[in-house]
Chains A and B, each alone.
Chain A
Amino acid sequence: MSKKATKIKDEQMNRLRRSRLYIPGNNPAMVQNAVVYGADSLIFDLEDSISLDEKDSARHLVRNALLTLDFEGCEVTVRINSLDTEYFIKDLEAIVPTKPDGLLLPKTESFEELIRIDDLISEIEEKNDIPIGTVKLMPIIESAKGVLQIEKIAEAPRVVALGLGGEDLVADIGAKRTKFGRELDYISSKIILACAANKIQAIDTVFTDINDLEGLHKATLRAIEIGFQGKSVIHPSQIEQVHRAFSPSQEEIDRAKRIIKAYKDAKKKGLGVVSVDGRMIDLPVVKLSERILKRAAASYQNT
């Protein structure tokens, strides 16, 4: 990988995606107001929340929204219909030219389909004078088959984040859906591992009970503990709870600051090994500390 490519990959890895908000692509008011709630990412949905007779109008609305509205630095993504549907290619042709930050790919099951999608997007990018590779991919794993292919999927071109579709997965494996998703522990860990190995982000599934904000907070804390970098949300009121969970404690912030300072000092002095609070510090720990400070800054915490 070239130095430049590594840098871009680093930025994608570090991009804040604590919350990504699903917006039905056929609701003009919601599309227009999506930006105001403070989500890190927006997902305009053309897939599951859109009935078959609304597919065309939703695509049209989202395309025009992406061309006209100012999203104020928010990451803008679109969940298109899956490769095996008649809408897939229409979605791709309508949306890629608007240069969204990324596309969410539902029901991803193989590396090969991602290669095919990469080719198709490259063609559209080329035709529209968009630098190849601009539009990133965020596959969603929603089947047992997809889970078993996860290591390859995480390696595919353009992929910057992986998500999981909790409801579909649970149905597919025949488990029972529980409030805090114990049945998804193994799958979650597997996805997180594959993402970490490829320096991309793992994003947790949605919490469906929009009235239980405390439950959501708890579920997000759990997700953070096992290594998720973000959580998908289905209602604007969920954003605050997710961000609250992602806000590091003052103790974490202070420690992160100490680590970064020690690392910088050591670098200046040409020292290879550093320790903070009696523990050895190396690059991954420094990166993690940077991420903590970024989360703190995003919550206007005292950094």
Chain B
Amino acid sequence: MKFVKNKVGRSIPEELFGKKLIPFTGKGKGPYKERKYAPKIRKTSPGDSKVLTSIQEAIKKGGLADGGTISFHHHFRNGDYLLNMVCHEIAKMGLKDIRLVPSSIQPINDELLTYLEKGIITHINCGTSGKIADAISRGKMKGLLTIRSHGGRARSIENGDVEIDIAFIASPTSDEYGNINGVHGKYACGSLGYAMPDAQFANYVVAVTNTLVPFPNNPISISQDHVDSVVLLKKPIGNPAGIVTTSLRVTRDPKNLKIARDCIEVIKASGLLKEGLSFQSGAGGTALAATQFLSQYMKAKGIKGSFGMGGATEALVRMLEDGLFDAILDVQSFDIYAVRSLLNNPKHIEMGASQYANPLSSGCAVNLLDTVILGCTEIDTKFNVNTSTESDGRIMHGMGGHQDTSEGAKLTIIAAPLQRGRIPIVVDDVVSVNSPGENIDVFVTERGIAVNPESQYFDILTKTKSLNTKSIEDLKAEAEKLIGGKPQKPKTTDRIVGIIEYRDGSVLDVIYQVEK
């Protein structure tokens, strides 16, 4: 295998599983293809019915064969039954060598492990967690895991890097002609943003629902002109309790609260916290705390922002309701409060994954972000961020919109404690790179704030007296001193089990199988 070093110093094979890989050469370098992918033309004639009563029928109608590709959204999160259901059906039908392209794999999908081992599922394209991630790390899947950001996934579907044979869309409600929304019914999940590229570019689209509503469904998130079959099932497609939480928990850990507070101090010092601010943060405990501190500050100072983006959470929605933002752009709704807001508040706008973050589109929303607060599992002295692998080399997470928002936002803040369970978060080289250091402006820890010397905010932030800024090397030294030394590198074999793509389709890093 021939290798080429990419811009972040990682050795990338020229070819893997018969596919040529493009090494990452820096942000903004694509596109690598001239035209978008065009799916097959399908036709529904007057009098035709789209309604089916079994998944197997839909698989047959979609013409899935060995080596085929199927896609899913993960808006049902850990309450999703559909992905498992479809895979069981495929196994029953004796199909094999299937490529799974969900927008995420959750612990609820652990039961698919056996299909990896049997060669029924041989490739997975998405961030993974739980037992599946662990099994892939240990070399139990024949093919390759491809980890993409939300924007990268949309791009790969639109430019044909991934050709979807059948997109299965878990639909909280659908009418019999395939008009779908995510805001009604027992299984309401809010935005259906991640399913939108699938609906537009798959060769066959199947809505799966327990709730058939009279035509026309209203509002329409995914429309009938993209949907070929509507499978009406009695068996539940999800578990409402796992789909949305009633309330996400703001951190109570004083260390994380300090980090959250300092994130807002950084935004203040940058000069961006003024009229018209646009902001995104996640649903983690620290991010939620930061959102609350931001909200308090904006209220106290009478500052009105332009839009908030997410991962919509109650914290963000309350800012909209308090008039602190004019709108929320919502690619996925995290809690019941956000789902209700999307249903009732016209200022709460649903958006697709491509509109959100596809870099090779005519304009995605992350480009308009002033600032974003993100997490990491590790960061290195070049500010490269790892979100996918643990310090022991095993795959543990996906990356969400990390590299999308970190490239798009003017000011990208990484918030994390300096150590977790006596493992330092700042290292010489991260195990794997999900966001290149060139995207990152600031790293905020409880023991100090490191500003990337390449950041346009370096001078203004390091000159702000109230910010405890340090070099990232000093933070690393501090972390190592606290835990009593440098941790060992993970031990891996030379078999590549996964690749991490940059959002434009070039390859940032590869993941090796861990030693037993």
State the A residues within 8 Å of B (CB).
Answer: 32-33, 36-38, 235-237, 240, 300
Q: Smallest distance from the beta carbon of B417 to chain A beta carbons, Å?
A: 9
**Docked-complex contact A235 and B254, CB < 8 angstroms:** yes
Which of chain B's residues 244-258 have a Cβ closer than 8 Å to chain A? 254-255, 257-258
Q: Once bound together, how far apart are the Cα atoms of A236 and B254, in whole Å?
A: 6
Among B254, B255, B447, find the residue whose CB has the most chain A CB atoms closer than 10 A: B254
Which single member of B257, B446, B465, B482 contacts A237 (CB below 8 Å)? B257
Q: Once bound together, how far apart are the Cα atoms of A244 and B31, in whole Å?
A: 52
**Nearest A-chain residue to B481, judged by Cβ:** A70
Measured between beta carbons, the chain A residues less than 8 angstroms from B456 are none
Q: Once bound together, how far apart are the Cα atoms of A33 and B259, in whole Å?
A: 13
Measured between beta carbons, the chain A residues less than 8 angstroms from B258 are 36-38, 236
Which of chain B's residues 235-267 have a Cβ closer than 8 Å to chain A? 254-255, 257-258, 261
Q: Smallest distance from the beta carbon of A68 to chain B beta carbons, Å?
A: 9
- Interface majority SS on A: helix, strand, loop or mixed? helix
**Docked-complex contact B255 and A33, CB < 8 angstroms:** yes
**Docked-complex contact B447 and A36, CB < 8 angstroms:** yes
Measured between beta carbons, the chain A residues less than 8 angstroms from B114 are none
Given A32-B482, A36-B446: A300 and B254 within 8 A (CB)?
no
Among A36, A236, A240, find the residue whose CB has the most chain B CB atoms closer than 10 A: A36
Measured between beta carbons, the chain B residues less than 8 angstroms from A36 are 255, 258, 446-447
Given A36-B258, A235-B254, A237-B257: A300 and B466 within 8 A (CB)?
yes
Given contacts A36-B446, A236-B258, 16 further A-B contacts (CB under 8 A): A32-B482, A33-B255, A33-B446, A36-B255, A36-B258, A36-B447, A37-B254, A37-B258, A38-B258, A235-B254, A236-B255, A236-B257, A237-B257, A240-B261, A300-B465, A300-B466
**Nearest B-chain residue to A35, judged by Cβ:** B447
Measured between beta carbons, the chain B residues less than 8 angstroms from A300 are 465-466
Measured between beta carbons, the chain A residues less than 8 angstroms from B254 are 37, 235-237
State the B residues within 8 Å of A (CB).
Answer: 254-255, 257-258, 261, 446-447, 465-466, 482
Q: Once bound together, how far apart are the Cα atoms of A32 and B446, in whole Å?
A: 12
20 A-B interface contacts by CB (under 8 A): A32-B482, A33-B255, A33-B446, A36-B255, A36-B258, A36-B446, A36-B447, A37-B254, A37-B258, A38-B258, A235-B254, A236-B254, A236-B255, A236-B257, A236-B258, A237-B254, A237-B257, A240-B261, A300-B465, A300-B466
Measured between beta carbons, the chain A residues less than 8 angstroms from B261 are 240
Q: Once bound together, how far apart are the Cα atoms of A33 and B261, in whole Å?
A: 16
Measured between beta carbons, the chain B residues less than 8 angstroms from A240 are 261
Among A37, A38, A235, find the residue whose CB has the most chain B CB atoms closer than 10 A: A37
Q: Once bound together, how far apart are the Cα atoms of A38 and B467, in whole Å?
A: 12
Measured between beta carbons, the chain A residues less than 8 angstroms from B465 are 300
Q: Smallest distance from the beta carbon of A66 to chain B beta carbons, Å?
A: 15
Q: Once bound together, how far apart are the Cα atoms of A38 and B261, in whole Å?
A: 13
Among A235, A236, A240, find the residue whose CB has the most chain B CB atoms closer than 10 A: A236
Measured between beta carbons, the chain B residues less than 8 angstroms from A32 are 482
Measured between beta carbons, the chain A residues less than 8 angstroms from B446 are 33, 36
Q: Once bound together, how far apart are the Cα atoms of A37 and B257, in whole Å?
A: 10
Measured between beta carbons, the chain A residues less than 8 angstroms from B447 are 36
Among B258, B447, B466, find the residue whose CB has the most chain A CB atoms closer than 10 A: B258
Measured between beta carbons, the chain B residues less than 8 angstroms from A236 are 254-255, 257-258
Q: Smallest distance from the beta carbon of A88 to chain B beta carbons, Å?
A: 31
Q: Once bound together, how far apart are the Cα atoms of A33 and B257, in whole Å?
A: 13
**Nearest A-chain residue to B447, judged by Cβ:** A36
Q: Once bound together, how far apart are the Cα atoms of A240 and B258, in whole Å?
A: 10
Q: Smallest distance from the beta carbon of A39 to chain B beta carbons, Å?
A: 11
Q: Smallest distance from the beta carbon of A214 to chain B beta carbons, Å?
A: 12
The 10 A-B residue pairs whose C-beta atoms are closest, nearest first, are: A236-B254, A300-B466, A36-B446, A36-B447, A300-B465, A33-B255, A237-B254, A37-B258, A237-B257, A36-B258
Among A32, A33, A236, A300, find the residue whose CB has the most chain B CB atoms closer than 10 A: A33
Q: Once bound together, how far apart are the Cα atoms of A71 and B255, in whole Å?
A: 16
Q: Once bound together, how far apart are the Cα atoms of A36 and B262, in whole Å?
A: 12
Q: Smallest distance from the beta carbon of A270 to chain B beta carbons, Å?
A: 37
**Nearest B-chain residue to A301, judged by Cβ:** B466
Q: Once bound together, how far apart are the Cα atoms of A235 and B252, in whole Å?
A: 11
Q: Once bound together, how far apart are the Cα atoms of A22 and B482, in whole Å?
A: 21
Q: Once bound together, how far apart are the Cα atoms of A37 and B447, in whole Å?
A: 9
Measured between beta carbons, the chain A residues less than 8 angstroms from B255 are 33, 36, 236
Q: Smallest distance from the beta carbon of A67 to chain B beta carbons, Å?
A: 14
Measured between beta carbons, the chain B residues less than 8 angstroms from A37 are 254, 258
Q: Once bound together, how far apart are the Cα atoms of A37 and B255, in whole Å?
A: 8
Q: Once bound together, how far apart are the Cα atoms of A236 and B260, in whole Å?
A: 14
**Nearest B-chain residue to A238, judged by Cβ:** B254
Q: Once bound together, how far apart are the Cα atoms of A36 and B258, in whole Å?
A: 8
Measured between beta carbons, the chain A residues less than 8 angstroms from B482 are 32
Q: Smallest distance from the beta carbon of A59 to chain B beta carbons, Å?
A: 21
Q: Once bound together, how far apart are the Cα atoms of A33 and B447, in whole Å?
A: 9
Q: Smallest distance from the beta carbon of B311 to chain A beta carbons, Å?
A: 25
Q: Smallest distance from the beta carbon of B477 to chain A beta carbons, Å?
A: 11
Q: Once bound together, how far apart are the Cα atoms of A236 and B253, in whole Å?
A: 9
**Nearest A-chain residue to B261, judged by Cβ:** A240
Q: Smallest distance from the beta carbon of A295 to chain B beta carbons, Å?
A: 15
Q: Smallest distance from the beta carbon of B414 to chain A beta carbons, Å?
A: 17
Q: Smallest distance from the beta carbon of B209 to chain A beta carbons, Å?
A: 44
Q: Smallest distance from the beta carbon of A73 to chain B beta carbons, Å?
A: 12
Q: Once bound together, how far apart are the Cα atoms of A300 and B258, in whole Å?
A: 17
**Nearest B-chain residue to A297, judged by Cβ:** B465
**Nearest A-chain residue to B418, judged by Cβ:** A36
Q: Smallest distance from the beta carbon of A167 to chain B beta carbons, Å?
A: 22
Measured between beta carbons, the chain B residues less than 8 angstroms from A237 are 254, 257
Q: Smallest distance from the beta carbon of A240 to chain B beta carbons, Å?
A: 8
**Nearest B-chain residue to A32, judged by Cβ:** B482
Q: Once bound together, how far apart are the Cα atoms of A300 and B466, in whole Å?
A: 6
**Nearest B-chain residue to A69, judged by Cβ:** B482
**Nearest B-chain residue to A30, judged by Cβ:** B254
Measured between beta carbons, the chain A residues less than 8 angstroms from B257 are 236-237
Q: Once bound together, how far apart are the Cα atoms of A99 and B334, in whole Å?
A: 51
Q: Smallest distance from the beta carbon of B502 to chain A beta carbons, Å?
A: 34
**Nearest A-chain residue to B419, judged by Cβ:** A32
Q: Smallest distance from the beta carbon of B332 to chain A beta carbons, Å?
A: 30
Q: Smallest distance from the beta carbon of B255 to chain A beta carbons, Å?
A: 6
**Nearest A-chain residue to B482, judged by Cβ:** A32
Q: Once bound together, how far apart are the Cα atoms of A237 and B259, in whole Å?
A: 12
Q: Once bound together, how far apart are the Cα atoms of A240 and B254, in whole Å?
A: 11
